[in-house]
Amino acid sequence: MTVKMIAVDMDGTFLNSQQDYDRETFNQLYQQMKQQNVRFVVASGNQYYQLKSFFPEIAEELSFVAENGAYVVSEGKEIFTGEIDSNTIHEVLTILADFKEGHTILCGKNSAYVAETEPDSFVEHGEKYYYRLKKVSNLFEVKEDTLFKFALSFPVEQVGEVLEQLHQALGDKVIPVSSGHGDVDLIIPGIHKAHGLLQLQELWGIKNHEVAAFGDSGNDIEMLKHAGYSYAMSNGQPKVKVAAKEIILSNDEKGVLVKIAELLGN
């Protein structure tokens, strides 16, 4: 088997429940990846600036498919940036106003934005995933940025129902996907993690069957279907397990690192 690219989701996949990973083991594996010319790609719904912080020594060497594919950066260079036009942003914000239990972060290239009226608990939750998060008087005012995603939060038990309602309310303007916990992302149609990986594959001449991908949530499904080698975490959502070719140990059992070691021939 020849794997030339390894793409990992972060929350619930690469990261354990303490939002960390076994850095020593990973660093050893990363040195092996470099020796074997295997690219390591971080593919997450989270913000680029947050993702970089997990790899302080090597962030400038890595590639990031951030914001569910809307922002792709390789070795510090911007490869792809999606954009939602301002009319659609306004339409979606108007529709979201009817979802009383929901909270919204508007995500852009330079920063993410949250309304001042949101509760502090939600803003603190947002700051874990968005290192650049600005408070604004309302989200309709955000103009000086390239906007490409909505990050929503709902009570966990409502997510299934809310996904259905959002699908109906939004049509094909933006696509709702679950990203774990009570979080739902609204993404640009056709711009998902698999699309992001494809941008990098074209850059490096890597075929789909040479890609290994790891995930646990609804926003990983396209990526898992796209990759020749696809792994769902045992802690993953049921439909994610169906999309993957193999189910591996959970995120708290270092499932990704165990499998990467295997892929590298250890």
* CATH annotation of 5-81+191-263: 3.40.50.1000
Q: What's residue 196's pLDDT?
A: 98
Q: What is the pLDDT of residues 244-254, one digit of tens each?
A: 999 999 999 99
183 classed as catalytic: no
Nearest to 152 by CA among 103, 107, 89: 103
May I ask the CATH architecture of the domain 86-187? Answer: 2-Layer Sandwich (3.30)
Q: What is the pLDDT of residues 71-118, one digit of tens each?
A: 999 999 999 999 999 999 999 999 999 998 999 999 999 999 999 999
- Percent share of the chain, pLDDT over 90: 92
Q: What is the pLDDT of residues 147-160, one digit of tens each?
A: 999 999 999 899 88
Task: Give me the chain's average pLDDT, please.
Answer: 95
Residue 102 C-alpha from the chain's centroid: 20
pLDDT at 1 over 80: no
Q: What's residue 181's pLDDT?
A: 77
Q: Which of 9, 11, 183, 185 is catalytic?
A: 9
What are the structural domain ranges in the chain? 5-81+191-263, 86-187
Q: What's residue 142's pLDDT?
A: 96
pLDDT band at 179 (very low <50, low <70, confident <90, very high): confident
Q: What's the average model confidence in pLDDT over 233-253?
A: 97
Q: What's residue 194's pLDDT?
A: 98
Q: What's the average model confidence in pLDDT over 15-40?
A: 98
pLDDT at 266 over 70: yes
User: Is the pTM higher than 0.85?
Assistant: yes
Q: What's residue 182's pLDDT?
A: 85
